Amino acid sequence: MAFYEWTERLSVGIPSIDRQHKTLIGYINTFAEAAQENNGSSAVVIGFVLNNLVSYTKMHFIYEEMLFDRYGYQEEKEHKMHHRKLAVQVEEYYARYKSGDSGFSEDLLSFLMGWLNYHILVDDVAYSGFLSSQGVT
Ligand SMILES: [Fe+2]
Ligand SMILES: [Fe+2]
């Protein structure tokens, strides 16, 4: 069973965004598996996944922010601020990994779960009705 299951409860009702959130969850699951197995290739897998997670997170935030700009989403300022903060935190974890800090896997997993849940269920759900009404799919 996956560490973090995507369920309908996490849907923001916009398929393009749901797909991106599923990809992010996929990275978290791959990370969790590698951290659990803790074998010879785990460190390489973790580095690879973290690198992808940092890039994909940035891309996902840019996508959402382009939609905010295009349709004039009223809460965009606060939402963008949350994106910046999360991007910095993910980068910090990546820097810890690169510096050879080996005790960070559990911290990182609970951080990732927490931020993704908050990002989707609080911040993103808030724009769902507005962007859907603009015809975003
Ligand atoms: Fe999102
Ligand atoms: Fe967001």
CATH number at residue 62: 1.20.120.50
Q: Decide: 86 and 57 in contact? Cβ < 8 Å.
A: yes
Query: 49 lies in a domain?
Result: yes
The bound ligand whose nearest atom lies closest to the alpha carbon of 116 is: 1
Cα(100) to centroid of ligand 2, in Å?
30
Cα(39) to centroid of ligand 1, in Å?
32
Query: 47 lies in a domain?
Result: yes
Instruction: Give 17: exposed, middle or buried? Use CB within 10 Å, 0-12, 13-18, 19+.
Output: buried
Query: 9 lies in a domain?
Result: no
Cα(12) to centroid of ligand 1, in Å?
9
Could you list the residue range(s) of the whole structural domain that residue 45 is in?
A: 14-133
Please tell me the predicted confidence (pLDDT) of residue 73: 97
The bound ligand whose nearest atom lies closest to the alpha carbon of 19 is: 1
Q: Does pLDDT of 102 surpass 70?
A: no
Question: What DSSP designation does 119 have?
Answer: I
| Single-letter amino acid, residue 70 | R
Number of domains in the chain: 1
| Single-letter amino acid, residue 127 | Y
Query: 6 lies in a domain?
Result: no
- Cα 62 to Cα 20: distance, rounded to the nearest angstrom: 12
**Top-ranked range on mean pLDDT: pick from 7-21, 28-42, 96-110:** 7-21
Confidence of residue 79 (pLDDT cuts 50, 70, 90): very high
Query: 100 lies in a domain?
Result: yes
- The closest of 45, 1, 27, 8 to 115, measured between CA atoms, is 27
Q: Does pLDDT of 1 surpass 80?
A: no
